[in-house]
Structure 1
Amino acid sequence: MDITDTARPLDGGAGVSAFLRSLPARPLLLGLGEARHFVGDLGELRNEIFRHLVEHEGYRSFAIESDCLRALVVDDHIATGAGSLDDVMERGFSHRFGTIPANRDLVRWMRAYNREHETKLRFYGFDGPLEYWAESPRQALTALYDLLDGPLPCTRETLDALLGPDDRWKDEATVMDPSRSIGRSPDARRLRLIADDLVALLETQAPRLNARDRERAALYARTAVGLLRYHSRMADTSPARWNHLSALRDAMMAANLRAIAEQGPALISAHNLHLQPKPSSMEFGDRRLEWWSAGAITKAHLGDAYTFLASALGRVGDDTPAADTVEGILSALPWDHALVDARHLAKAVTEPTQRVSRDFAYIPLDPAALDTIDGILFLKHATKLDPVTPDQQAADPPQDSRPGTT
């Protein structure tokens, strides 16, 4: 089989519509993976695809691998114009994703669209408030508390006292030193009980809340419980600590994705490792970590309503794939940007080798996993955004040093 029979050019997003029509069901979530963060061409192509989905396929939501609470700043901005664009890009994103020009262009376009159309677009983050350490649960817990009515499980003053200074929660030293974590302290244990009571109270009071407040209260509840659970695991001294932390992060992502699916079809942007419908893994020192990805968990819940497009890059800077790798084979396609049927490709190519990239931030396609994904968005040439600062690397770290943070 000629590999051109497995692909189509991605021309103005029309190829995406043809791809959607080939699926067994219309997806509620279309996951568009990144083989590497901070690739300008991929962000621009993603924006083009989203505009096409909005204008031709009825999509109204966009979600990104960024702090779910910070993203509320962006959602409010595109809905009402609240805040300056500079402020929104600084406060509304985690992992330095607000510095990416394509993300700025997307927010600007979504705000302009909402000014001109009655049916509004929504913007979501679906990551937890996490880097490789975790934020304080203060914002989520207090916001949930303030939306509820009595009988509350404690006073607001007690809640503030138990939370204490935020710095003691987000101590970056806890990454490698569990003894620095307060996640299993008496205050943290009591906060987990209070959070459980608040979640139960939210269910009893849901009818009195309007739709917007119910949606946000549910987000605060998921985030508060998830953060407290994550902090508790940060204090774990067992060898399975990082496996559990990585799994908890993706489980938080998956819970947010299911909530986003309830709002209608959405385009989801995140690293391939998070969106792939199979376990994620990475090397960590002399151990190999493996856990179920957010995509795998979401697929288990949504079935055909979740579709995953992995991205793959040909030449990135001076890093060119060998001819017998999947990326090398796809580089022979006649188009700069192509949409590839991954399962047909798996039948068309004979025992491709695994690409070894000199760019630590690029995660090559796994030749053995082609038949587990729905499609591949292939860019023959790609440009990294420079400079990659240490803070940016925290969002996309070396695979052997900071697990669970792609």
Structure 2
Amino acid sequence: MALAGAPAAYGDETIPDLVVGGVAPVSGLRPGDGIDVRATVANKGTVAAEKVWVAYSVTRGLDFAQVPSNCQVQHVRPYDEMPERWTAVCAFDQAVAPGAVYTTDRPLRVTALDRALNDELRLRVESGDPGADDNGSDPVAGTAPPVKLVAADAGGVGSARIVDVPVTTVNTADYQVTGAALRGSVGDTVTMKVKFTNAGPAWVWPREGDKAVRVMVTPPPGTSVVKRGTFCRAEGGVYVCGMRSLYEGSGETYTFDLRIDKRVPGAKGSIALSTEARPFDPDKANDQADITLDVVGGGSSGSAGGSDGSGGSDGSVGGSTSGTNGSTGGTGGSTGTSPSGSDGGSSSTVTGGTASGGTTSGGNLAETGSSALPAAGVAAAAVAMGAGVLLVQRRRRAQRPD
């Protein structure tokens, strides 16, 4: 359990020092199961709180079953390393004297959705109205009977104004990759589209310390990379790629432009997931796929030409919800290709993968997909681009109101 505390008004003893507790980490849920959340509020300061607000916040694998009428529900988009979530802020027109301990007269029911896996419940207590989140939808009042605070013993007293509680559900998420079949003549520039998908049913929010999954793309031998895919960096003859979203049903298409330099019998590349442990993904059969190349005609080319793009612009994680916590989110943006080789070769067809997310842009250096190291300019662009894995590990830090 991650705790975030704040002294009374940062040292100001003229306002209440409220803390919240009463909830322990939850594990072993299954989709459809529920937990009852009963918040406990205490005043450790020397000044009474004339009114109290308790905020319940859940990540997108969880939902509120019923919301009391003295609570306002809001859907909040992801920002500041915080994931997409739903928040219910409940107002209690009740005073809490110094040393007093209260709990809610009935629990708030939270259920695990079909997409639940690694989620989080946050409790926060305030002595002033926290207001609506600027990154969220318009708040909507609940329809269930109002909830009240009642006197309680000190057994469930917390020690912080904000408490983050992990909620783990037994579920799976199927990470899979899709390869491509290329065809062209020596000297042609062909477009290769390969894809990563989280086929669900669960969304994946990496916990702090989890290693991010990467997609490893190895172009077929006998080709040079004219333009690499968005979110990909070169490491020798392999391209290490990241993704924007691990929502269920989301995916990332990596679009490369390859120049066919020479015929290599049985030329075959690959797309594969990195080997980090993924206990939620038991199906390993679709973790690797071939990239085949059929070279038609004869002959071989001279030196490789063209340009290597340094990535491109990324779309934003999107998706909309209705009601409390309904429809799934996904990724936004578009993917396009812009072959720019200087060899005058013709563009050829490719099968495998579908475009979704991100745009790519050209650069000015070529890379050999099979074995050559990237040129200095491409390396600099790759460093500027960063690790390419856009789902960084979220820091759990408390959000203090102004």
Q: TM-score, normalised by structure 2?
A: 0.23
More strand by share: 2
Q: TM-score, normalised by structure 1?
A: 0.23
Between the two structures, name the one with larger relative contact order (CA 8 Å, sep ≥ 6).
1
User: Greater CA radius of gyration, 1 or 2?
Assistant: 2
